Amino acid sequence: MLLHSVVSLLGLASVVFGQGGACGSQAKGALCPDKQCCGQYGYCGTTAEYCLTSKRCQSQCINDGPPPPPAGPKAPSIDTSKLFKPPAGTFDNLKLVGYFSNWAQYRGLDPSTPACHNDSVFLPENINPYLYTHINYAFVFMAENFTIIPHEYDDEDLSLRMNRWIKKLNPSCTTSYSVGGCGWLRASQYTGGIDYTPFFSRMASTAANRKVFINSAIAWARKLEFDGIDIDWEFVGNPERGGSSADRANFNSLVQELRAAAKTEAASSGKKELILTMAAPAGPDDIARIDPKTIAGSIDWFNLMTYDFYGNWDAVVENQAPIVDQRLSNWSFTSAINIYLGLGVPSRQLVAGLPLYGRVWTLTDLTQTTPGSPGAAGIAGRCTAQKGYLSYFEIQEILNSQNGRGVNFVPGNGYYLTFDDQWVGYDDEFSFVAKMDIIFKKNLGGAMLWAVDQDTKDFNLTKTLLTTFRACPSDGDWPATLAGQGAEIDCPTAPGFTQTRNCGNDGKWGVASNMDCIVNGASQAQFLVAKDVCIQGQ
């Protein structure tokens, strides 16, 4: 009995007082002697590095607040004097919203993608803040208790870095964080074994649950210096993705209560009221599960996800974001916009989505390459590493490697590229011009990009898109034309001859130059008259 007691006391001593200066989790929870502090690395000491809770002191600490969130990768060095700035007035009438995907920080670090190098990493400081009116940080998640939680380990650090970087360079560019996303998945290796699919539906189902979420959402925005909140509940009312028939009404309640709480918080804090937006579906079935007109009364705008109409889940190849309907009705960029307008949503609250990526198929028959040909899941990008998916910068790399061969543009549909046995449908300059023409004509609020980190490093396609913000809209037979460029069409009175018209730098049409039409049209008329006289004189 005595021996047992002595052993127990010795064991207790080894737990209470670390031997050799070791303590904390690194020494089975041992405390430091003489009331010393146990520092974050498991050693005893008395300085601030050991004792402050903000320095991750483990025991016998001085509480000076919580430690900072885990730090993300080191910020890149950016020469801000070389950042492209669009001309003044570019954003006078239209928004350009860009989503930043927080997993772009891992490019080049995954051993399964050896072709992706560290120079492909994209961090908040790689964003050019002058190119957008608004940036959404994607994504954060929601816990089972309906509070906001990080999606990546360093979300808090990257969020603060993004907001401070953008506000420092371009204070007029506002920011939001987006909660949810298409990664709201069933239990898998990507979710830590948690089934996230029913969380939104459960949260929205009661006023008490909604209040918890709303308070947490507002607190997260203020803590990390965001200007707004973007709700990306992509599967409202979809029973296959954790939804229920009650979601439609409950979602209305959620956005109404969130708006009311945002107003109250702004009044009490003296801060500007938070921007509220929604990442909105584009397919008719998904749109039918929400109440867009009612939602419009509580949010600032809809970010329409007008892409992914087709993908390698389909057995035939097709541009993933067609301009107008192709094989299916109400299944395109234009149709989605028309559905929302038809439901009574004000046009200026619609921001139409444009993809900076393409969907990829493996062709079944290399002799059949036009849209609608048979195909199966395509390759993964060297960096994006998702089967059947290529970012715009990856598409451009392939184009450069084959000197631009294999590119086709189908009016009303978009671009497609063939290489080896692969087929990718994507957007580029001309399809963006056509879509911006629709945005202008329907008086929408602007355009949205998924995602800013998928453009080329110097944002080539985004900069081209910005020129369309000053484009001349289509006018009769005249096609939509970029500012500073000219258009050419056939003469209606003189076949074989053309007339030209310039689109000014201000995005306004000039007068058509149709002298060839007049002269040659008159010559043809004189010829026909002379011919008629000659025939009559025979």
* Angle at 504 (CA atoms; ends 498, 505), nearest 5 degrees: 140
3-state secondary structure (DSSP) of residue 396: helix
Give DSSP secondary structure letters for 131-145.
Answer: G-SEEEEEEEEE-TT
Q: Is 49 known to be catalytic?
A: no
Q: Based on the number of CB atoms within 10 Å of its own CB, is 245 exposed (0-12), middle (13-18) or buried (19 or more)?
A: exposed
Tokens 């009303």, located at residue: 412
Q: Which residues of 293-313 are buried (b: 16+ CB within 10 A; e: fewer)?
A: ebbbebbbbbbbbbbbbbbbe
List the structure tokens of 222. 């203020």
Mention every residue, 6+ apart, whose C-beta is less than 8 A from residue 315.
374, 375, 376
The gap from C-alpha 139 to its chain's centroid, in whole angstroms, comes to 10
Distance, CA of 471 to CA of 503 (rounded, Å): 7
Asked if residue 451 has a cis previous peptide bond (ω within 30° of 0), the answer is yes
Distance, CA of 397 to CA of 244 (rounded, Å): 44
Neighbours of 201 (CB within 10 A): 22
Element holding 435 (H helix, E strand) = helix 429-441
The number of residues making up the chain comes to 538
What angle separates helix 429-441 from helix 460-468, to the nearest 10 degrees?
30
Give DSSP secondary structure letters for 82-116.
Answer: GS--PPTTTTSS-EEEEEEEGGGGGTTT-TT-TT-
List the structure tokens of 330. 């109400």
Distance, CA of 107 to CA of 29 (rounded, Å): 37
The answer to whether residues 205 and 153 touch, using CB atoms and an 8 Å cutoff, is no
What angle separates helix 247-269 from helix 207-223, to the nearest 10 degrees?
40
What is the rounded (10 degree) CA torsion for 517, 522, 528, 529?
160
Distances (CA, A) of 535 to 530, 531, 532: 9, 6, 5
The gap from C-alpha 131 to its chain's centroid, in whole angstroms, comes to 14
Among 234, 265, 318, 394, which one carries the catalytic annotation? 234
Distance, CA of 210 to CA of 232 (rounded, Å): 15
Asked if residue 115 has a cis previous peptide bond (ω within 30° of 0), the answer is no
Element holding 452 (H helix, E strand) = none
3-state secondary structure (DSSP) of residue 313: coil
The answer to whether residues 11 and 28 touch, using CB atoms and an 8 Å cutoff, is no
Catalytically active residues are 234
